[in-house]
Each structure stands twice: as C-alpha cells, then as structure tokens.
C-alpha cells in the first residue's frame, strides 16, 4: 500500500524539533522510518505530522562518558553502533548485537532510539540495554529526565515516553575490569523472529572465578524484556563454571507464561529461555575472564 499524504518537517536543531512536537497535536518523530513508515502504509496508525529527527546533529554522536561509559545519541544507526571504535573498544557486545540486526539496509537506517521507542518485543536492542543497565535520557520543551532501561519498556509497543518527549540519548555504564556481557537468541529460521532471547552482564571478583554481581534480561517470555531476579540471586556468589551457571539459569523465567502458538508451546519457550540465559551468561564469563571486552567470545554468539 502507498503512504497516505502526510505533512512532513525536518527541523534543523533539537530545540525546534521539541517545539514542533509540543505544539502540534498528532505530530510524531520520524527516525529511521523502518517501522513507522510501514505502520503508516498499512494504515495501522496515522499521524498528522512527521517530524524528521534523523539528521539532527545533537542526536547523531557517540561519546565517551567521564567514567568510561558511552552516551549514544538516539539517531545513531545500528551500522554506526557496529562500526564505532568507541563501542568496539569498551562495549563489544552492544556493537555485535547491532551488527547482526537483519540486513545492511535495515542497519543503515534503523536507529537505537527508534528500536527502543517502538518497544517491539522482538527487537534486538532492548534486552542488551536492560542487561547493561543503560539509562534512557528524555527531553521535552520544558523538562529533562532519565529512566532506567528496565523501567522504560512498559509493554507491547508502549514505553515511558510522554507526549511531546523525545529520547535524546542512551547512556551505557562503563564495563569495569573482570566484567563481561553476553547475548543469545534462538531463531527457528534464518529470517525468523527470535523464539527466545537473553542478555547478561556479570562481574567476577578480583583474581577468582566467583560471580560478584549479575544482571540477566530475558526477552520473548513477556511483552517487554524482564530482569530475572531469581537467576541473578543464584548467580551472585556462585562459581563461574558451566555447571553452576546452568544450575542458576534453571529457574529462569519462573512465574512467567510465554505465549503458546504455532511456532512453539509456552513450555518450550520457557525451556529455551533457560538455555539462552545459560549461553548469554557463559559468554559474559568468557569476556570477563579474557580481560577485555571479549571480542572473540562474543563473535561466537552468531546472529543476534
């Protein structure tokens, strides 16, 4: 279907974009347009004004934060995330997740902000951002606020964004020494949506193989990525061995009821969530013990 006629503006700075979004009822930000334009073409939703934010310089940068974290502008594309030397240097897994999203055309246009603001439960970036404990920085004409990634995703295509607000950047905390991240997805076909997905971050104690801190985010078991407090509690204090991690992950997604559909039963999805959690945590352990951001071990994870 063709796109219906719609008004379009391309503000030249962030302040102007925020002002238009505040002033015009029915205005919506347009980033990569990969999802929004399809939604409009299919008449699933309509907007009165598209506010193109994709070229705003303020939203296109990746900066190092003073502590060694990253501040990623909302309109940074997946390809830019993947190719960024800063991302590769300290947050390899984040770059690797972006590198494996769909195909090159999607990676050239799709943005970290669009991927998060859409809050599609099948999207790749939300779970890794939750596991990395990222912070979403929001702005409107009158206020600035920050929301933890784990609180930002509210439901199926729903976020903490309020009317007139833009996500301007995503701050990812530093990866301390002896910490690592991992990401694992189960795909039933090369171009299918993931059936189960997990992202993990762990910290090992100095000199030993004891896990001292852990974050595990599961996706596809609920409408939003969820931190698994049960698994995290079992990981902390455990030895970072395959057997101990498998045991900790055996309770993943407890109390959740993933959907039952033609692709797989709820029970199968739960089992696969446990397998993905184990794989993601073991990748994180590999990174942490490698003493760097684990480029080789993360690469073994394959397509995101």
Ligand X SMILES: Cc1cc2nc3c(=O)[nH]c(=O)nc-3n(C[C@H](O)[C@H](O)[C@H](O)COP(=O)(O)OP(=O)(O)OC[C@H]3O[C@@H](n4cnc5c(N)ncnc54)[C@H](O)[C@@H]3O)c2cc1C
Of the pair 70, 166, the CB lying nearest ligand X is at 166
Nearer to ligand X, 71 or 120 (CB): 120
Least distance from C-beta 34 to ligand X, angstroms? Answer: 3
Residue among 30 and 277 whose Cβ is closer to ligand X: 30
Select 81 or 202, whichever has its Cβ closest to ligand X.
81
Q: Which is nearer to ligand X, 118 or 129 (CB)?
A: 118
Q: How buried is 126 (Cβ within 10 angstroms: 0-12 exposed, 13-18 middle, 19+ buried)?
A: buried
Report, in Å, the least distance between residue 295 CB and ligand X.
Answer: 22
Q: Where are the alpha helices (DSSP H) in the chain?
A: 14-23, 36-41, 78-83, 85-90, 92-99, 104-109, 112-118, 125-131, 149-152, 229-235, 242-249, 266-290, 295-299
Q: Is-contact 37 139, C-beta < 8 A?
A: no
The whole-angstrom separation of Cα 159 and Cα 130 is: 14
Q: Smallest gap, in angstroms, from Cβ of residue 9 to ligand X? A: 14
Taking the complex as a whole, the smallest distance from the CB of residue 114 to ligand X amounts, in Å, to 2
Q: How far is the CB of 183 from ligand X (least distance, A)?
A: 12
* 3-state DSSP assignment of residue 213: strand
Given a contact cutoff of 8 angstroms between Cβ atoms, the answer to whether 134 and 172 are in contact is yes
CB closest to ligand X, residue no: 114
Q: Smaller CB distance to ligand X: residue 168 or 249?
A: 168
8 A C-beta contact, residue 32 and residue 175: no
Min dist. Cβ of residue 267 to ligand X (A): 25
Residue among 79 and 286 whose Cβ is closer to ligand X: 79
Q: What is each CA distance from 66 to 18, 80, 172, 185, in whole angstroms? A: 27, 21, 12, 32
Sheet holding 166-172, edge to edge: 62-64, 70-73, 166-172, 135-139, 144-148
Place of tokens 């943005």: 111
Contact residues: ligand X, CB under 6 A:
28-36, 38, 74, 101-102, 106, 109-111, 113-115, 117-118, 120, 123-124, 161, 166-167
157's torsion region: left (phi>0), alpha (psi -120 to 50) or beta?
left
Residue matched to tokens 């407090």: 229
Nearer to ligand X, 167 or 285 (CB): 167
237: left (phi over 0), alpha (psi -120 to 50) or beta: left
Q: How far is the CB of 132 from ligand X (least distance, A)?
A: 16
Question: How far is it, in rounded angstroms, from Cα 27 to Cα 164?
Answer: 9
Shortest distance (Å) from residue 220 CB to ligand X: 12
């Amino acid at each position: 279907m063709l796109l219906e006629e719609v008004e379009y503006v391309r503000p030249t700075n962030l302040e102007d974009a925020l002002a238009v979004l505040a002033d015009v009822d029915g205005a919506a930000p347009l980033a990569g347009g990969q999802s929004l334009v399809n939604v409009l073409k299919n008449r699933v939703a309509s907007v009165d004004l598209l506010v193109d934010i994709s070229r705003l310089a303020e939203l296109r940068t990746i900066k190092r934060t003073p502590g060694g974290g990253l501040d990623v502008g909302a309109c940074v594309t997946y390809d830019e995330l993947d190719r960024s030397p800063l991302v590769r240097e300290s947050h390899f897994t984040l770059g690797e997740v972006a590198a494996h999203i769909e195909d090159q055309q999607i990676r050239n246009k799709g943005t970290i902000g669009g991927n998060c603001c859409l809050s599609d439960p099948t999207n790749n970036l939300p779970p890794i951002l939750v596991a990395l404990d990222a912070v979403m920085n929001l702005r409107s004409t009158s206020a600035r606020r920050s929301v933890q990634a784990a609180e930002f995703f509210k439901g199926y295509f729903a976020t903490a964004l309020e009317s007139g607000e833009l996500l301007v950047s995503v701050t990812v905390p530093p990866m301390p020494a002896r910490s690592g991240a991992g990401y694992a997805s189960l795909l039933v076909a090369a171009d299918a949506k993931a059936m189960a997905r997990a992202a993990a971050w762990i910290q090992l104690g100095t000199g030993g193989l004891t896990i001292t801190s852990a974050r595990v985010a599961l996706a596809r078991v609920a409408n939003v990525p969820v931190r698994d407090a049960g698994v995290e509690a079992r990981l902390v204090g455990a030895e970072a061995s395959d057997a101990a991690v498998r045991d900790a992950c055996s309770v993943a997604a407890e109390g959740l009821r993933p959907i039952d559909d033609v692709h797989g039963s709820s029970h199968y999805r739960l089992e696969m969530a446990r397998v993905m959690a184990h794989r993601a945590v073991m990748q994180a352990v590999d990174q942490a013990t490698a003493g760097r951001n684990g480029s080789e071990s993360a690469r073994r994870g394959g397509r995101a």
